[in-house]
Structure 1
């Protein structure tokens, strides 16, 4: 997380803004606090795009998608102000690094941990697809590792399955993150199915256990041609033998050759159990390995009364000492300093994705 800039808003809707969480293609994301000090991630359209009707429509569709999807593996929708200037939306603030940040800092996951992670993400995709929505941008940067397990975030590129009557993306325009896009998505085909998200999950799992992309080398148009060429196979070097068959099927060039989300989920669960550990044990190990104790959130002065909750006295912070009686009556009360929050979270929450 980063400290606010002078030009940043101090209030968005009902939320007091205390820091910057990151930015995506069309939005800036802030850390906000509700009147009861609940943390939320607040996304607003970037200033240069405020006059772009297509971006406003896409933003509104993101709100619709967030209201539609649900489940333990999806960031919870909190509110939106589409008629405000700038328009905004808010989801729960999730404590934890992205999967990409974790792998970059701590290295690849072992097989059992990756299998449970993949099964949980398959659960999330199942809920998303049941709601009639494709994510279209599943990748390590859009997976947050919280104390409750992984959460799928950023529905800015999501679309309704088989929705040909309402299409924001221009025909022939490629959308998504190239390194995790299926061949049909690279070719900008419009009739995408759940198998497109299955491919992205396979690419994400391959990254989680190897720490590198499927197609090493140059990106851009060269990478797009390699992904869309059925002769060029993704590089699964380093993927453990227990996972390589399943991941290879998930990355099949033809969408119909890929397994369904439920098949992926069940095979990953079976693979995790083959380690001799219970799923509950592996899940606890995964959470312990990938999550850290959440830092405190800055509390507004009006909510900082340590006597507000008489229970758990030993867990309450010491009361702030009163000012000396000799202090001038005109002295202004101290301002709340949230710079410590930015310093503690800067490296952990810097993200290159929208949410």
Structure 2
């Protein structure tokens, strides 16, 4: 997420959270990066006054009580809130990663198997929340953050403000855009059921797979009209064939025609397994892909790529170094072998990459310009200034006296050696 400094008019703190900067802004208000007294980072969303009234405050307070009971690895953890503040605020776990909307706009749609993995992950998370009696009601790509540990859903409870004063006859009063809103929600039907989150998830998955939404138009009012019109089918163009049955069902006009979230999970698993992959593998690949660490030649067993140590100053061993374009850097062996550290050039990198040495201790190599062995720096540690003197500068180690002293010491040690 982008982090910018606070403005002069921004509060320095909210509740127990110190505000450190701005990380986003939307139709609901401003999002700050906060920190608890114990150093826990938090995303603190402050609701702007234009969407606050007595009814929304009351519903927000009720939903806060429900939010306190909700937890799970795919839900950004609730950290605090105040519905009675001049500007109500809600603090949740800070997820260090872009939202799904930004990722797709920057990197393009997800492959079908990763879209199915995303669907299974989010459907399972929503199902757990529904058992607590809470609906999201504002699920969209901007409310799914792609963190280093996988996707997480944010902004539960804020739909209390989103629904304030929504009217099809007054489009200027609509908060946000209805691109992922279910037809019955857009039409003002009450009470809402879990089917609204199923529809929203279907719209989100369509966007993830194609880069567009079921209904798009120039204004929110026009989108409302398309969403609520029974004669206007959702635009599924570009959707992978294996996802079409799932998306068609999730985006059905009638709430009763949509699958349950449990069915969504099973259908997503079927898409993944039909491509010869297990759900756990697909989930790992999704996280790796969205975290920016996806490699085209991913290992078949989904083993994580080991980081390469920093280059050493050793010269390449031309007799033993394999050709970089023919032989990739081998994995670390569990059985150490007495081979020296080898430096080779890897395509795509600006500098040399060091083949993992089986022995983590520094190796000694004899410098032809000196008689004493020279110890190489450990991988990842640059040579010290004393080991890299300026050219032409005399040092004690290179003086005749130092060489004679080293020669006498080696002779003395050899005379006492038991071998």
TM, length-normalised to structure 2: 0.63
Larger Rg: 2
* From 39, 42, 53, the counterpart of 2:41: 39
**Does the CA contact (< 8 Å) of 2:136 and 2:156 recur in 1?**
yes
Label 1:34 to 1:196 Cα distance change in 2 as closer, same or farther (>3 A).
same
Match of 1:190 in 2: 190
2: distance between equivalents of 1:25 and 1:54?
19
1: distance between equivalents of 2:255 and 2:128?
20
SS in 2 for 1:20: strand
**Where does 1:108-119 land on structure 2 (aligned, <5 Å)?**
108-119=109-120
SS in 1 for 2:232: coil
**Does the CA contact (< 8 Å) of 1:65 and 1:158 recur in 2?**
no
Label 1:23 to 1:216 Cα distance change in 2 as closer, same or farther (>3 A).
closer
Match of 1:208 in 2: 208
2: distance between equivalents of 1:48 and 1:240?
41
2: distance between equivalents of 1:53 and 1:257?
36
Offset of 1:134 from its aligned partner?
A: 1.3
Label 1:234 to 1:49 Cα distance change in 2 as closer, same or farther (>3 A).
closer
Offset of 1:287 from its aligned partner?
A: 0.7
Offset of 1:80 from its aligned partner?
A: 2.6
Offset of 1:61 from its aligned partner?
A: 3.5
Which moved further from structure 2: 235-244 or 184-193?
A: 184-193
**Does the CA contact (< 8 Å) of 1:26 and 1:55 recur in 2?**
no
Offset of 1:56 from its aligned partner?
A: 3.0
2: distance between equivalents of 1:240 and 1:90?
37
> Within the alignment, does 1:243 sit opposite 2:243 as a pair?
yes
1: distance between equivalents of 2:80 and 2:37?
14
Offset of 1:130 from its aligned partner?
A: 0.6
**Does the CA contact (< 8 Å) of 2:166 and 2:175 recur in 1?**
no
1: distance between equivalents of 2:83 and 2:221?
35
Match of 2:74 in 1: 73
Offset of 1:55 from its aligned partner?
A: 4.1
**Where does 1:224-243 land on structure 2 (aligned, <5 Å)?**
224-243=224-243
SS in 2 for 1:134: coil
Offset of 1:73 from its aligned partner?
A: 1.6
Offset of 1:141 from its aligned partner?
A: 0.7
> Within the alignment, does 1:88 sit opposite 2:97 as a pair?
no
**Does the CA contact (< 8 Å) of 1:21 and 1:31 recur in 2?**
yes
SS in 2 for 1:16: strand
Match of 2:262 in 1: 262
Label 1:176 to 1:83 Cα distance change in 2 as closer, same or farther (>3 A).
closer
Offset of 1:49 from its aligned partner?
A: 6.0
**Where does 1:1-355 land on structure 2 (aligned, <5 Å)?**
1-46=3-48, 52-158=53-159, 169=164, 177-291=177-291
SS in 2 for 1:9: coil
SS in 2 for 1:68: coil
**Does the CA contact (< 8 Å) of 2:20 and 2:33 recur in 1?**
yes
**Does the CA contact (< 8 Å) of 1:139 and 1:200 recur in 2?**
yes
Considering only aligned residues, what root-mean-square deviation do their CA atoms show, in Å?
A: 2.4
**Does the CA contact (< 8 Å) of 2:63 and 2:134 recur in 1?**
no
Which moved further from structure 2: 61-70 or 247-256?
A: 61-70
* Structure 2 unmatched runs, 5+: 169-173, 294-377, 379-419
Aligned residues: 285
**Does the CA contact (< 8 Å) of 2:249 and 2:257 recur in 1?**
yes
SS in 2 for 1:40: strand
Offset of 1:289 from its aligned partner?
A: 1.2
Label 1:49 to 1:260 Cα distance change in 2 as closer, same or farther (>3 A).
closer
Label 1:175 to 1:184 Cα distance change in 2 as closer, same or farther (>3 A).
farther
**Does the CA contact (< 8 Å) of 1:133 and 1:158 recur in 2?**
no
Match of 2:297 in 1: none
Offset of 1:41 from its aligned partner?
A: 1.0
